[in-house]
């Protein structure tokens, strides 16, 4: 079916008090697995390409983006394409031509005033071209190999009052909030700050996004959605599933040299992970097929 937009999927999810899952993809196998997993549970999904994934692909956005668009257009469920954790203005400006309907502009590592100014400029540029834009306030941590922040470190949590002002002054369409998760977690041991999420949900009139969701067990994912999260980002969980499956296959088949044999196993493992995580979020948003 035709490519949809993240904004449309998130709007539907917010209206239904549910959430849409967004998965970071690196290879064609990731793309295929995400779509197959979403189709298996009849749910919409967002394919995300991060700036780090673009760097891995020799700095070229379009080859992976074109593959994602082609796969999305042949899916039986709504699929959106989102450019994730963009710090480079040059990369941001490639988004519309590459088929992206939304971007996450990441200036969260800057001091507040600089974050706001950069995000405001990015939002103005994105909106002029019909792009939905997400930003981040508070430091979720764990990105680019950095350790997660201590729960009590300055900036480790999103302040509701500051978030309200940031959204109003920046003009973003959604906000990723720091409520206890961390990027790149390989164990599902994190817990969300439910009281803080309740305060953020009450303070903000834009959809809330949860990054670092791979570290949450199923009950915490469900609690996040019940508390007002409407977009749930997942990346590391797919890489864990793929790597474990391939490692196990190659240990059992040391003679294997055809990459299709172990990539099939890895793709299937990611497909199962996608389906399980979408189910953990609860019912699909209203308007899903």
What is the C-alpha separation between 244 and 8, in angstroms, rounded? Answer: 34
Q: What pTM, to 2 d.p., does this model score?
A: 0.92
pLDDT attached to residue 190: 84
What is the C-alpha separation between 42 and 32, in angstroms, rounded? Answer: 15
pLDDT attached to residue 150: 47
What is the C-alpha separation between 235 and 183, in angstroms, rounded? Answer: 9
Structure tokens at 131: 């792009």
pLDDT attached to residue 248: 98
| Intervals of the chain under pLDDT 70 | 139-155, 183-184, 187, 284-289
- In Å, what is the CA distance from 62 to each residue of 39, 80, 239? 25, 16, 22
Active-site residue flag, 84: yes
DSSP H helix total and E strand total for the chain: 12, 8
Catalytic site residue from 8, 84, 173, 193:
84
Structure tokens at 19: 């959430």
- Residue corresponding to tokens 């350790």: 147
């Amino acid at each position: 079916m035709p490519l949809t937009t993240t904004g449309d999927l998130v709007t539907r999810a917010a209206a239904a008090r549910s959430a849409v899952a967004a998965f970071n993809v690196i290879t064609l196998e990731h793309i295929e697995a995400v779509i197959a997993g979403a189709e298996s549970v009849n749910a919409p999904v967002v394919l995300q390409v991060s700036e780090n994934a673009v760097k891995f692909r020799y700095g070229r956005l379009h080859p992976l983006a074109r593959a994602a668009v082609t796969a999305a257009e042949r899916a039986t469920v709504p699929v959106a394409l989102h450019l994730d954790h963009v710090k480079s203005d040059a990369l941001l400006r490639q988004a519309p031509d590459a088929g992206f309907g939304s971007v996450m502009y990441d200036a969260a590592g800057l001091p507040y005033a600089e974050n706001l100014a950069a995000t405001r400029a990015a939002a103005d540029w994105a909106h002029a071209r019909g792009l939905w834009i997400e930003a981040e306030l508070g430091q979720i941590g764990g990105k680019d190999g950095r350790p997660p922040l201590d729960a009590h470190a300055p900036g480790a949590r999103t302040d509701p009052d500051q978030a309200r002002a940031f959204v109003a002054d920046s003009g973003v369409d959604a906000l990723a909030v720091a409520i206890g998760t961390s990027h790149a977690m390989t164990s599902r041991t994190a817990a969300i700050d439910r009281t803080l999420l309740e305060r953020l949900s009450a303070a903000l009139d834009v959809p809330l996004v949860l990054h670092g969701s791979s570290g949450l067990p199923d009950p915490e994912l469900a609690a996040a959605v019940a508390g007002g999260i409407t977009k749930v980002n997942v990346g590391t969980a797919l890489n864990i599933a793929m790597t474990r499956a391939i490692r196990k296959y190659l240990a059992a088949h040391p003679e294997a040299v055809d990459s299709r044999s172990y990539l099939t196993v890895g793709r299937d493992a990611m497909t199962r992970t996608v389906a399980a995580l979408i189910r953990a979020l609860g019912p699909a948003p209203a308007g899903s097929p």
